Amino acid sequence: MQEIIVPYLQCPECNGAIIISGIIEKKLINTEEFITKGLLHCNQCHTSFPVIDGIPRLLRKKELTPAELQCTEEFSAISTAGISSISTAGIIVKKEKTFNEKEKLALMEKKVRQLFRPEKAVSHSMMKRIEHDLEYRVYHSDKKEKYVETAKLYYKGDMQSILEVGGGQGGTLSCFRKYFHPRITLSIDIDPVMSEVCQIRDPFINVIRADGTNIPVKDNCIDFIITTATLEHIKEWKICLREIARISRNAFISYSPNKWFGYDWGHVDGPVIPFLPKNYSLPLLCLWHKLRGTGRDYKALKRSLSGTFYISRYNAVKELRKYGTVINVFENFLEYSIRSDYHYMGGSFKKFLLKHTLIRKIMIALLLAFKVEPMVYLFLKKKPVIQK
Ligand SMILES: [Zn+2]
The DSSP result for 151-192, as a single string, is HHHH--S---EEEEET-TTSHHHHHHHHHH--SEEEEEES-H
Query: How many A from CA of 48 to the centre of ligand 1?
Result: 8
- pTM over 0.85, yes/no: yes
**Closest Cα to residue 15, out of 215, 188, 171?**
215
Q: Which amino acid does the sequence have at 365?
A: A
Q: What angle do CA 134, 136, 140 make, to 5 degrees?
A: 140
For 11-53, write each residue's pLDDT tens digit. 999 999 999 998 989 998 888 899 999 999 999 999 999 999 9
% of the chain beyond a pLDDT of 70: 96
DSSP-derived letter for residue 59 is S
Ligand 1 centre distance from Cα of residue 313 (Å): 35
Q: Output the CA–CA distances (angstroms, integers) from residue 27 to 33, 107, 305, 325, in the order listed.
A: 6, 18, 41, 42
Cα–ligand 1 centroid distance for 187 (angstroms): 21
CA of 41 to the centre of ligand 1 (A): 8
83 pLDDT more than 80: no
22 CA → ligand 1 middle, Å: 17
Structural domains of the chain ordered from first start: 3-95 (no CATH), 141-260+309-382 (3.40.50.150), 268-306 (no CATH)
Q: For residue 105, report the distance from its CA to the centre of ligand 1, in Å.
A: 38
Separation between Cα atoms, residue 320 and residue 323, nearest integer Å: 6
pLDDT in tens, 94-118: 777 777 888 888 888 888 888 878 7
Q: How many Å lie between the centroid of ligand 1 and the Cα of residue 27?
A: 28
Of 92, 3, 1, 7, residue with least CA distance to 43:
7
Q: How many angstroms separate the alpha carbon of residue 66 from the centre of ligand 1? A: 20
Top-confidence residue, 172 or 124: 172
Q: Please, what is the average pLDDT of the chain?
A: 89
| Nearest Cα residue to 153 out of 321, 325, 333 | 333
pLDDT of residue 388: 61
- Distance (Å, rounded) from C-alpha 196 to C-alpha 210? 14
Q: How far is the CA of 15 from the centre of ligand 1 (A)?
A: 6
Mean pLDDT of 151-168: 93
DSSP calls for 228-272:
ES-GGG-TTHHHHHHHHHHHEEEEEEEES-BTTT-EETTTT-EES
The pLDDT value recorded for residue 82 is: 45
More confidently predicted of 136 and 149 = 149
Instruction: Say what the pLDDT of residue 216 is.
Output: 98
Q: What is the pLDDT of residue 387?
A: 64
Confidence of residue 267 (pLDDT cuts 50, 70, 90): confident
* 302-354 pLDDT, tens digit each: 988 999 999 999 999 999 999 999 999 999 999 998 887 777 777 888 888 88
Residues in the chain: 388
User: In angstroms, what is the span from residue 248 Cα to ligand 1's centroid?
Assistant: 21
Question: What separation in Å is there between the alpha carbon of 61 and the centre of ligand 1?
Answer: 10
Element (H, E) at 199: helix 192-201
Cα of 10 vs centre of ligand 1, distance in Å, is 8
Rounded percentage of the chain residues whose pLDDT exceeds 90? 53
pLDDT of residue 339: 85
Q: Cβ distance 261 to 288 under 8 Å?
A: no
Kindly give the distance from the C-alpha atom of residue 343 to the centroid of ligand 1, in angstroms, as a whole number. Answer: 44
Residue of 384, 373, 386 lying closest to 317 (CA atoms): 373
pLDDT at 90 (0 to 100): 64
DSSP 48: E
Ligand 1 centroid, distance to 47 Cα (angstroms): 6
**Ligand 1: distance of its center to the CA of 65 in Å?**
18
For the beta carbon of residue 303, count every other beta carbon within 10 angstroms.
12
Q: Could you tell me if residue 46 is left (phi over 0), alpha (psi between -120 and 50 degrees) or otherwise beta?
A: left
Q: How far is the CA of 20 from the centre of ligand 1 (A)?
A: 13
- The single-letter code of the amino acid at 191 is D
